[in-house]
């Protein structure tokens, strides 16, 4: 019955549900299937705000360009601002006890945020020409007419800014002096400011400036023939420390006396042994400084005479805080060391090294890595003694508050910088576990059901309703660690910038396990490792069921693309690294092949910089499988900078190498775009695991169109080089967007289309036989979205029903792309209101359910848009048959239905990507959106036609059945009785 039956069911469906498919939630359904986690990112700098009364808070700025205020008690975010991608925060401080001051965008924007609520009070744009270090200093007691003065050095200019309204009081341009200012120093209580820095590599300059009006008072300059390396460090109000160019000598600079005095001390003179090159730690410890030699940390004191004295040498030190002054002018700083599996936090007085104010050892999860930063704060304990709390930033970017030898709270800030996501199934449920659980909480279970019954019978009071809602949100079903029937619960395997792998449970978003990958940690051979991507390595089913699934993590030692690759294989059930390989060859591409070996390990080809292909897993079985399909394996590379796309085919084993897993490849074809008019700005391919149910598409009047479904389809968008930058750089006449559909096996251009007067950025998604892309139309001054569908013409002749009935057709036989199937494309464009950050499409288990586009809007929300709105067959006046088919009359712009925001009232701040995963239930797609925040939900693009909805009242159904059975019994008894009575009469 095929189509007929499906139509019939569709009609039934239409009867059951309303005609308009809109994804929407009721208020009490929020949080039932979605979760949202808010983060700030890796903390760069933290400033405490702990007055005697009121909430204890800490203002932080992070690597994700976030400014936030955190509550010190529980660590939750009080307020947060995500600045733009190129608006990195350089410095943060608190002024007047009520403003959080941030300097961002390489020192060009100074903003003040109201401390309690995070509203912006003022913002100033600081002018300047040169690129330079950005320094922010808030001197105490430097008063002007209007409140305190904020000193900012940025872009070669020293600015004094009023902290009340952000007005620039004066500015002193130092850019003409070609000085690289390293420090802005204001000795306590004086009206003078010193700007010190280097000119060239070997000249030290100091400018003395009047803090009241910005006038230059004195300029001193001195040559240091040995040259300087790195930064200047202020040790006391008049002494600076730096390293010489060879990094073997320490240089102290006394600049406040009549002339500048350099004093050079060779490292080996004060430290007995030589440990290699020295690095100055940027911690500001008054009268002291710290130098790191590989693993050794040496504290050196500067005596009044300007002599250097070694105070202590510490081997396992991880981080040192700035000095913090507390009661009676005493100054203390924190030192963190790693001892075994614990971290040792020591608070030391600056002037009295031998006495420790505090020494606490805290057990620390090994997966958090090393301590990278520590910020300290004091408080008065209940017994009036001085207490210290420390905020530490770990290697995995997590943020922890330590107080009294305990971790008060921790935040998994690593999740704010997700690089790649994949998924893993949960273990299959084993019998016998569940029973115990139910028995234990039988009473709870009963109570819950009584409450639910009360709810359905509308007997519940407001407290009961709240309790029911709480129960729904914290249902134990959601956190089960076994596979569920609908396939909703999975593990999201998330790779973060810190090189840490997290497994998140899709039910409630908790971290099931986390692993700081050893191969992605800094080591001697791997200086700046970066994680690249994560792939499903082994997905056991059928015959390899007893194996645990595993993922492949690909990383690289240095950010450049010819750096050696590091591979890790991680078990997704236990979170343990199974094995790792490193430093073998470089890696430009990772190509998962559509073949698996007998243990369900997927074959992967890694293409290195020399265009050799390396096969993984390294087994002879894998080679056997590859050899079988050898001539059919191709790969392509998109060289965006050169404007070339090249196609390659594998040829033979590598010559001159005894590596049987290495293969050479030969260039087959190349597409060269004219560099003066076209620049590649975006590409899109189909997702590898996308399932397409059928190739045929029935259209009105029972005709069939055959979709061109190819896994080897590449969408490329090019734009005029002039228009590939910001808006307003190009006139509509000179900008033009060209889109291509390319077959990556043969290099054949299937379709080419030009959008005149349009420009990027282009966001595109390719699925089944269509591609949807978003770009800017310069002529109309609006964003547009276009859809392009591609159909196969070579099968159109299959019209004989009888042949199809008996199966005599070639529709399912394997095809070669060299047969050059005839294709036809249809396309249409629409206006779209939003600019777009990311675009994705829903994917379901069998590919039957209709699709929705998931659009990450500029407002950091995810909008679900039915694919039906992007259908090139839409026309202004569709015929009756077309209407029946579900074609919507053509409108010039795409509708944005407020209820169809998947993220409802939430924002996924700094949205970067959207990932969709199919659930086992055909109607349902799991959606994971990540940015600074992470968000997960599940959506049903055509409603949950294959299951009862969450709000379906089982109790009512049960009640009805019971009532009906009771009614049957009652009437039966009554009729019996009546009959008997009649017989007696």
Partner 1 sequence: MEKGKGVMVGGRRWAVDFTDNSTSPSRDIPDPPGFSRSSQDQDDSTLSRQKKDAESNWKSQKAWEVAQAPFKNLLMMGFMMWMAGSTVHLFSIGITFSALWQPISALQGVGKVFEPYKDSRVDLLGPKLLFIALNLGGLALGVWKLNTLGLLPTHASDWVFSLPPAQEVEHSGGGIPLC
Instruction: Tell me if 469 contacts partner 1 by CB under 8 A.
Output: no
Binding to partner 1 (CB under 8 A): which residues in 14-53?
Answer: 15
How is residue 975 written in tokens? Answer: 């009729």
Among 281, 481, 704, 824, binds partner 1 (CB under 8 A): 704
Among 58, 144, 195, 554, binds partner 1 (CB under 8 A): 554
Torsion of CA 400, 401, 404, 407, to 10 degrees: -40
Q: Which is nearer to partner 1, 180 or 922 (CB)?
A: 922
Among 354, 355, 812, 949, binds partner 1 (CB under 8 A): 812
Q: Cα dist. 325→17, 384, 446, 474 in Å?
A: 68, 17, 58, 46
The whole-angstrom separation of Cα 623 and Cα 613 is: 12
Q: Which is nearer to partner 1, 398 or 683 (CB)?
A: 683
- Do 280 and 288 meet the contact criterion of CB atoms below 8 Å apart? no
**Residue 32 beta carbon to partner 1: minimum distance, rounded to whole angstroms:** 34
**Residue 832 beta carbon to partner 1: minimum distance, rounded to whole angstroms:** 25
Instruction: Tell me if 707 contacts partner 1 by CB under 8 A.
Output: yes
**Residue 884 beta carbon to partner 1: minimum distance, rounded to whole angstroms:** 7
The whole-angstrom separation of Cα 367 and Cα 574 is: 14
Binding residues for partner 1, total number by CB under 8 A: 74
**Residue 634 beta carbon to partner 1: minimum distance, rounded to whole angstroms:** 4
Instruction: Tell me if 685 contacts partner 1 by CB under 8 A.
Output: yes
Q: Which is nearer to partner 1, 351 or 799 (CB)?
A: 799
Instruction: Tell me if 949 contacts partner 1 by CB under 8 A.
Output: no
**Residue 635 beta carbon to partner 1: minimum distance, rounded to whole angstroms:** 4
**Residue 609 beta carbon to partner 1: minimum distance, rounded to whole angstroms:** 9
ω into 617 cis (within 30 of 0): yes
The whole-angstrom separation of Cα 716 and Cα 637 is: 12
Q: Which is nearer to partner 1, 96 or 692 (CB)?
A: 692
- Do 887 and 842 meet the contact criterion of CB atoms below 8 Å apart? no
**Residue 760 beta carbon to partner 1: minimum distance, rounded to whole angstroms:** 15
Q: Which is nearer to partner 1, 516 or 742 (CB)?
A: 742
Among 134, 148, 695, 829, binds partner 1 (CB under 8 A): 695
Instruction: Tell me if 110 contacts partner 1 by CB under 8 A.
Output: no
Among 6, 457, 961, 967, binds partner 1 (CB under 8 A): 6
The whole-angstrom separation of Cα 708 and Cα 700 is: 19
Among 306, 592, 859, 886, binds partner 1 (CB under 8 A): 592
Q: To which H or E segment does residue 974 belong?
A: helix 954-984
935 sits in the region (left: phi over 0; alpha: psi -120 to 50; else beta) called beta
**Residue 727 beta carbon to partner 1: minimum distance, rounded to whole angstroms:** 24
**Residue 501 beta carbon to partner 1: minimum distance, rounded to whole angstroms:** 17
Q: How far is CA 48 from the centre of its chain?
A: 27
Q: To which H or E segment does residue 555 belong?
A: strand 550-556
Picking from 339, 399, 355, the residue whose alpha carbon sits closest to that of residue 375 is 399
**Residue 523 beta carbon to partner 1: minimum distance, rounded to whole angstroms:** 21
The whole-angstrom separation of Cα 391 and Cα 389 is: 7
**Residue 975 beta carbon to partner 1: minimum distance, rounded to whole angstroms:** 15
Instruction: Tell me if 976 contacts partner 1 by CB under 8 A.
Output: no
The whole-angstrom separation of Cα 568 and Cα 589 is: 16
Instruction: Tell me if 624 contacts partner 1 by CB under 8 A.
Output: no
Q: Cα dist. 662→271, 386, 615, 650, 651 in Å?
A: 50, 64, 6, 10, 11
- Do 193 and 151 meet the contact criterion of CB atoms below 8 Å apart? yes
Q: Which is nearer to partner 1, 318 or 421 (CB)?
A: 421
Instruction: Tell me if 533 contacts partner 1 by CB under 8 A.
Output: yes
Cβ neighbour number for residue 688 with a 10 Å cutoff: 13
Instruction: Tell me if 418 contacts partner 1 by CB under 8 A.
Output: no
Q: Are strands 602-607 and 577-586 parallel, antiparallel or unpaired?
A: unpaired
Per the DSSP assignment, residues forming a β-bridge with 923 are: none
Instruction: Tell me if 813 contacts partner 1 by CB under 8 A.
Output: yes
How is residue 761 written in tokens? Answer: 């950025």
How is residue 241 written in tokens? Answer: 């420390």
Q: Which is nearer to partner 1, 362 or 704 (CB)?
A: 704
Among 385, 702, 949, 985, binds partner 1 (CB under 8 A): 702
How is residue 650 written in tokens? Answer: 């594998």
Q: Which is nearer to partner 1, 33 or 638 (CB)?
A: 638
Among 43, 267, 467, 605, binds partner 1 (CB under 8 A): 605
Picking from 833, 800, 837, the residue whose alpha carbon sits closest to that of residue 931 is 837
Binding mask 562-591 vs partner 1 (x if CB under 8 A, - otherwise)? -------------------------xxxxx
Instruction: Tell me if 410 contacts partner 1 by CB under 8 A.
Output: no
The residue range among 270-278, 444-452, 625-633, 855-863 that interacts with partner 1, by the rule CB under 8 A, is: 625-633
The residue range among 439-447, 448-456, 567-575, 813-821 that interacts with partner 1, by the rule CB under 8 A, is: 813-821
How is residue 868 written in tokens? Answer: 């039906």
Instruction: Tell me if 978 contacts partner 1 by CB under 8 A.
Output: no
**Residue 4 beta carbon to partner 1: minimum distance, rounded to whole angstroms:** 4
**Got the DSSP string for 936-947?**
EEEE-TT--TTS
Binding to partner 1 (CB under 8 A): which residues in 879-938?
Answer: 884
Q: Cα dist. 700→179, 534, 552, 704, 788 in Å?
A: 75, 43, 46, 9, 20
Instruction: Tell me if 683 contacts partner 1 by CB under 8 A.
Output: yes
**Residue 30 beta carbon to partner 1: minimum distance, rounded to whole angstroms:** 36
Q: Which is nearer to partner 1, 10 or 349 (CB)?
A: 10
Tokens 């701040």 sit on residue: 909
Among 294, 404, 574, 632, binds partner 1 (CB under 8 A): 632
Q: Cα dist. 332→327, 373, 405, 407, 495 in Å?
A: 10, 16, 18, 21, 38
430-447 burial, b at 16+ Cβ within 10 Å, e below that, comes to eeeeeeeeeeeeeeeeee
The whole-angstrom separation of Cα 455 and Cα 461 is: 9
Angle among Cα 339, 343, 344 to the nearest 5 degrees reads: 85
The residue range among 283-291, 338-346, 553-561, 945-953 that interacts with partner 1, by the rule CB under 8 A, is: 553-561
Binding to partner 1 (CB under 8 A): which residues in 638-657?
Answer: 638-640, 647
How is residue 201 written in tokens? Answer: 């590599």
Instruction: Tell me if 804 contacts partner 1 by CB under 8 A.
Output: yes
- The secondary structure of residue 415, as a DSSP letter, is G
Q: Cα dist. 567→287, 495, 579, 611, 654 in Å?
A: 46, 13, 8, 19, 21
Picking from 73, 51, 50, 70, the residue whose alpha carbon sits closest to that of residue 60 is 70
The whole-angstrom separation of Cα 947 and Cα 387 is: 58
Instruction: Tell me if 662 contacts partner 1 by CB under 8 A.
Output: no
Instruction: Tell me if 965 contacts partner 1 by CB under 8 A.
Output: no
Q: Which is nearer to partner 1, 121 or 554 (CB)?
A: 554
Instruction: Tell me if 698 contacts partner 1 by CB under 8 A.
Output: yes
The whole-angstrom separation of Cα 647 and Cα 644 is: 10
Binding to partner 1 (CB under 8 A): which residues in 153-172?
Answer: none
Binding to partner 1 (CB under 8 A): which residues in 728-747?
Answer: 744-745
How is residue 81 written in tokens? Answer: 């601002």
**Residue 588 beta carbon to partner 1: minimum distance, rounded to whole angstroms:** 4
Instruction: Tell me if 692 contacts partner 1 by CB under 8 A.
Output: yes
Instruction: Tell me if 385 contacts partner 1 by CB under 8 A.
Output: no
Instruction: Tell me if 281 contacts partner 1 by CB under 8 A.
Output: no
Instruction: Tell me if 520 contacts partner 1 by CB under 8 A.
Output: no
Instruction: Tell me if 532 contacts partner 1 by CB under 8 A.
Output: yes
Instruction: Tell me if 454 contacts partner 1 by CB under 8 A.
Output: no
């Amino acid at each position: 019955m095929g189509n007929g039956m499906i139509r019939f069911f569709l009609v039934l469906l239409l009867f059951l549900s309303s005609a308009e498919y809109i994804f929407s939630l009721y208020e009490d359904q929020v949080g039932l299937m979605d979760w949202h986690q808010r983060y700030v990112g890796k903390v760069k700098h933290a400033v405490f705000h702990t007055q005697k009364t009121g909430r204890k808070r800490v203002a932080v700025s992070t690597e994700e360009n976030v400014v936030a205020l955190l509550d010190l008690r529980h660590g939750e975010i009080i307020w947060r601002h995500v600045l733009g991608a190129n608006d990195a925060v350089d410095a943060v401080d608190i002024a007047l006890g009520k403003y959080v001051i941030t300097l961002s965008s390489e020192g060009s924007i100074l903003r003040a945020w109201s401390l309690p609520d995070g509203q912006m009070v003022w913002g100033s744009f600081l002018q300047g020409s040169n690129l330079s270090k950005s320094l922010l200093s808030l001197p105490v007691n430097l008063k002007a007419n209007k409140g305190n003065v904020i000193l900012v050095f940025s872009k070669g200019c020293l600015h004094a800014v009023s902290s009340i309204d952000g007005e620039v009081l004066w500015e002193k341009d130092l850019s003409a002096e070609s000085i690289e200012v390293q420090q802005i120093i204001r000795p306590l209580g004086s009206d003078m400011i010193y700007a010190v820095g280097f000119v060239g590599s070997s000249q030290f300059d100091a400018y003395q400036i009047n803090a009241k009006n910005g006038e230059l008072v004195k300029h001193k300059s001195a040559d240091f023939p040995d040259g300087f390396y790195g930064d200047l460090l202020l040790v006391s109000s008049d002494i600076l420390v730096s390293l010489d160019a060879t990094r073997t000598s320490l240089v102290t600079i006394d600049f406040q006396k009549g002339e500048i005095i350099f004093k050079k001390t060779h490292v080996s003179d004060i430290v007995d042994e030589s440990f290699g090159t020295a690095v100055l730690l940027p911690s500001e410890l008054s009268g002291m400084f710290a130098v790191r030699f590989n693993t050794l940390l040496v504290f050196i004191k500067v005596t009044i005479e300007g002599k250097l004295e070694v105070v202590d040498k510490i081997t396992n030190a991880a981080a040192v805080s700035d000095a913090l002054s507390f009661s009676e002018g005493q100054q203390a700083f924190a030192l963190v060391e790693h001892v075994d599996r614990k971290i040792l936090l020591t608070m030391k007085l600056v002037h009295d090294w031998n006495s420790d104010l505090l020494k606490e050892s805290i057990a620390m999860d090994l997966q958090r890595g090393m301590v990278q930063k520590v910020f300290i704060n004091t408080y008065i304990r209940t017994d009036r003694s001085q207490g210290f709390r420390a905020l530490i930033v770990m290697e995995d970017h997590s943020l922890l508050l330590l107080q009294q030898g305990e971790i008060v709270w921790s935040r998994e800030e690593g999740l704010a910088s997700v690089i790649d996501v994949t998924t893993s199934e949960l273990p299959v449920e084993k019998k016998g576990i569940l029973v115990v659980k139910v028995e234990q909480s039988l009473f709870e279970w009963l109570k819950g059901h009584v409450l639910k019954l009360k709810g359905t019978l509308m007997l519940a009071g407001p407290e009961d309703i709240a309790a029911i809602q709480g129960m729904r949100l914290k249902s134990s079903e959601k956190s089960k660690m076994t596979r569920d029937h609908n396939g909703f619960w999975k593990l999201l395997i998330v790779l973060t910038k810190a090189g840490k792998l997290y497994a998140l449970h899709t039910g409630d978003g908790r971290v099931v396990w986390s692993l700081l990958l050893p191969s992605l940690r800094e080591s001697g051979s791997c200086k700046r490792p970066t994680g690249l991507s994560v792939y499903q390595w082994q997905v056991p089913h059928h015959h390899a069921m007893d194996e645990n699934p595993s993922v492949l993590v690909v990383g690289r030692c240095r950010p450049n693309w010819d750096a050696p690759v590091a591979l890790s294989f991680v078990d997704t059930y236990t979170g343990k690294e199974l094995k790792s390989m490193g430093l073998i060859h470089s890696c430009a591409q990772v190509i998962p092949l559509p073949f698996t070996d007998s243990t369900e390990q997927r074959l992967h080809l890694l293409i290195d910089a020399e265009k050799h292909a390396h096969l993984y897993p390294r087994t002879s079985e894998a080679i056997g499988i590859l050899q079988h399909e050898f001539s059919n394996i191709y790969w392509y590379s998109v060289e965006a900078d050169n404007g070339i796309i090249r196609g390659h085919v594998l040829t033979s084993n590598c010559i001159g190498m005894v590596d049987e897993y290495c293969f050479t490849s030969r260039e087959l074809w190349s597409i060269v775009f004219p560099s003066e008019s076209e620049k590649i700005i975006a590409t899109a391919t189909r997702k590898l695991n996308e399932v397409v149910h059928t190739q045929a598409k029935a259209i009105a009047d029972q005709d069939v169109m055959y979709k061109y479904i190819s896994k080897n389809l590449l969408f490329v968008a090019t734009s005029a080089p002039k228009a590939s930058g910001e808006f307003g750089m190009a006139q509509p006449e000179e900008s033009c967007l060209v889109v291509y559909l390319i077959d990556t096996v043969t290099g054949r251009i299937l379709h080419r289309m030009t959008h005149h007067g349009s420009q990027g950025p282009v966001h595109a998604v390719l699925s089944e036989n269509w591609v949807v892309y978003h770009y800017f139309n310069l002529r109309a001054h609006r964003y547009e979205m276009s859809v392009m569908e591609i159909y196969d013409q070579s099968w159109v002749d299959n019209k004989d029903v009888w042949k199809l009935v008996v199966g005599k057709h070639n529709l399912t036989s394997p095809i070669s792309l060299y047969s050059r199937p005839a294709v036809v494309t249809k396309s249409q464009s629409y206006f779209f209101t939003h600019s777009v950050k990311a675009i994705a499409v829903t994917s379901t288990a069998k590919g039957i359910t209709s699709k929705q586009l998931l659009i990450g809007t500029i407002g950091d929300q995810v909008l679900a848009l039915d694919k039906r709105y992007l259908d090139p067959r839409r026309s202004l006046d569709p015929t009756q048959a077309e209407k029946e088919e579900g074609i919507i009359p053509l409108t010039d712009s795409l509708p944005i239905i407020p209820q169809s925001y998947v993220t409802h009232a939430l924002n996924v701040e700094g949205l970067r990507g959207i990932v969709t995963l199919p659930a086992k239930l055909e109607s349902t797609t799991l959606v994971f959106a990540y940015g600074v925040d992470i968000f997960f939900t599940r959506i049903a693009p055509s409603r949950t036609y294959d299951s009862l909805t969450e709000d379906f009242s089982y109790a009512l159904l049960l009640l009805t059945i019971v009532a009906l059975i009771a009614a049957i019994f009652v009437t039966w008894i009554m009729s019996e009785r009546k009959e008997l009575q009649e017989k007696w009469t």
